[in-house]
C-alpha cells in the first residue's frame, strides 16, 4: 500500500520537452511510473521517447486519463502552468520549481482549494511510492519498497536519509517532499494523517528543519491522532539564529522555530529526534524490532 500515488497512477509531465522535463521523464519511466503524456505549448504532436506531447493540459486530458501532473517550467511561468492543470481538472499536482513568487504560490493554493486539487510543493523533490510510482526528481535507486513512511521538508536530505535506510535494508512505503518554500500545498499533518491510514506504513519518519512551526504543529497532531510510531530527524542544530539558510523555511526569527523548541515539542509527545542522518536507520530498526516483539 501507499499514499497519494500507486502503480495505477497516470502521470502527465508539464514542460516535458525542456532539459529537466525530458531527463526526469526518462528517470520516472525507468522507475516504472506510468507517464502517459507530456505538455509543451507549440510542441504538440512531438514525442519524448514514447511519450506523446500535447500543446495544452486540456488537450492531453482529452486523449488520456490523467491522475497527476508534475510541473517542470521556470518559476515565473509556474503559476500559469499550475492554473492550467488545476483548471483542466488535474487532482494531484506536483510543483518542482523553486523560487516561485510567494504571491503566486498563494494564488495557486487558493485556486487548488476551490477546485479540489492536492498540491505537493513548490520546491519539492516530489512524491514516490516505492516500487510503484515516482513523481519527482529523486534518484531512483534508493527508493525500495518497505514499511517506512517518510515526509520531509528537504530534498537532498531526504535522499540522504532514505539512502541510509535502504543501505540498512529498510525500504520505504511512500516518501513525500512537502517542499522547502514558505507557502506549500501540504504540511506534515496532511501527510501524517494519510500514513496513519495506510496499512503499508509501519513507522513514520518526519524530516524537519529549523524555522517555521510545522514540526511543533506536527507534534501536537501526533499526540492526538497518530497511533503509529513516529521518529524525527531535524537539521539545523548548529545554525546561528537570524540567518536565512537557503530554504526560505530554514530561518529562525522572532524566537519561533528554534532547534531546541522543536526537539522539546517532539520529545514531549514521544517522538525521538535524530540530529545526525546516520542515526535514523538505527532508530527505525529499534522501533520495528520493538513492534515485532
| Dihedral in degrees, nearest 10, Cα atoms 262, 267, 269, 274 | 80
Contacts of 90 (CB under 8 A, 6+ apart): 12, 57, 61, 66, 68, 69, 117
Our CA angle for 147, 188, 150, nearest 5°, is 25
Cis peptide before 122 (omega within 30 of 0): yes
How many residues sit close enough to another protein to count as binding (CB under 8 A)? 79
In the three-class reduction of DSSP (H, G, I as helix; E, B as strand; rest coil), residue 184 is classed as coil
Binding-site member from 19, 42, 45, 114 for a second copy (CB under 8 A): 114
Q: Residue 250: which residues within 8 A CB-CB, separation 6 or more?
A: 180, 209, 210, 211, 235, 236, 239, 244
Q: Which stretch binds another protein (CB under 8 A): 29-37, 194-202, 246-254, 260-268?
A: 246-254
Q: How far is the CB of 102 from another protein (least distance, A)?
A: 5
Nearer to another protein by Cβ, of 202 and 284: the residue is 284
Residue 202 engages another protein in binding (rule: CB under 8 A): no
Closer to another protein by Cβ: residue 139 or 147: 139
Q: Of a second copy, another protein, none, which one does residue 154 interact with (CB within 5 to 8 Å by kind)?
A: another protein
Residue 177 β-bridge partners: 152
Q: Tell me: does residue 38 bind another protein (CB under 8 A).
A: no
**DSSP class of 239:** P
137 binds another protein, rule: CB under 8 A: yes
Residues 94-113 that bind a second copy (CB under 8 A): 113
Contact of residue 4 among a second copy, another protein, none (CB under 5-8 Å per partner type): none
- Which does residue 229 bind out of a second copy, another protein, none, counting CB within 5 to 8 angstroms by kind? none
**293 contributes a contact to a second copy by CB under 8 A:** no
Q: Which of 271, 266, 109 is nearest to 179 (CA)?
A: 109
Site for another protein in 73-112 (CB under 8 A): 75-77, 79-81, 83-84, 87, 98-107, 109-111
CB of 1 to another protein, least distance (A): 25
H/E element holding 31? helix 19-31
247 is a catalytic site residue? yes
Nearer to another protein by Cβ, of 75 and 269: the residue is 75
Task: Please choose which of another protein, a second copy, none residue 212 contacts, taking the beta carbon within 5 to 8 angstroms, the exact cut-off set by kind.
Answer: another protein
**Whose CA is closest to 21, among 4, 6, 35, 7?**
35
* Residues classed as catalytic: 247
Amino acid at each position: 500500500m501507499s499514499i497519494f500515488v500507486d502503480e495505477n497512477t497516470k502521470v502527465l509531465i508539464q514542460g516535458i520537452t525542456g532539459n529537466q522535463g525530458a531527463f526526469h521523464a526518462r528517470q520516472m519511466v525507468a522507475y516504472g511510473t506510468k507517464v502517459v503524456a507530456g505538455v509543451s505549448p507549440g510542441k504538440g504532436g512531438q514525442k519524448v521517447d514514447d511519450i506523446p506531447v500535447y500543446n495544452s493540459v486540456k488537450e492531453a486530458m482529452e486523449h488520456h486519463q490523467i491522475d497527476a501532473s508534475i510541473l517542470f517550467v521556470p518559476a515565473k511561468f509556474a503559476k500559469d502552468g499550475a492554473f492550467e492543470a488545476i483548471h483542466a481538472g488535474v487532482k494531484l499536482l506536483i510543483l518542482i520549481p523553486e523560487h516561485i513568487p510567494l504571491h503566486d504560490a498563494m494564488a495557486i493554493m487558493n485556486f487548488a482549494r476551490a477546485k479540489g486539487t492536492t498540491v505537493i510543493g513548490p520546491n519539492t523533490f516530489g512524491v514516490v511510492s516505492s516500487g510503484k510510482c515516482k513523481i519527482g526528481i529523486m534518484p531512483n535507486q534508493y527508493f525500495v519498497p518497505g514499511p517506512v513512511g517518510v515526509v520531509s521538508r528537504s530534498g537532498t536530505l531526504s535522499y540522504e536519509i532514505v539512502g541510509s535506510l535502504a543501505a540498512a535494508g529498510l525500504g520505504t512505503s511512500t516518501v513525500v517532499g512537502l517542499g522547502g518554500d514558505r507557502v506549500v500545498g501540504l504540511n506534515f499533518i496532511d501527510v501524517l494523517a494519510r500514513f496513519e491510514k495506510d496499512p503499508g506504513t509501519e513507522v513514520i519518519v518526519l524530516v524537519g528543519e529549523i524555522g517555521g512551526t510545522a514540526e511543533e504543529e506536527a507534534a501536537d497532531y501526533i499526540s492526538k491522532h497518530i497511533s503509529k510510531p513516529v521518529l524525527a530527524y531535524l537539521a539545523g542544530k548548529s545554525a546561528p539564529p537570524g540567518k536565512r539558510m537557503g530554504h526560505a523555511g530554514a530561518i529562525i526569527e522572532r524566537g519561533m522555530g528554534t532547534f531546541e523548541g522543536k526537539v522539546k515539542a517532539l520529545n514531549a509527545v514521544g517522538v525521538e529526534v535524530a540530529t545526525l542522518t546516520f542515526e535514523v536507520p538505527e532508530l527505525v530498526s529499534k522501533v520495528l524490532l520493538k513492534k515485532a516483539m
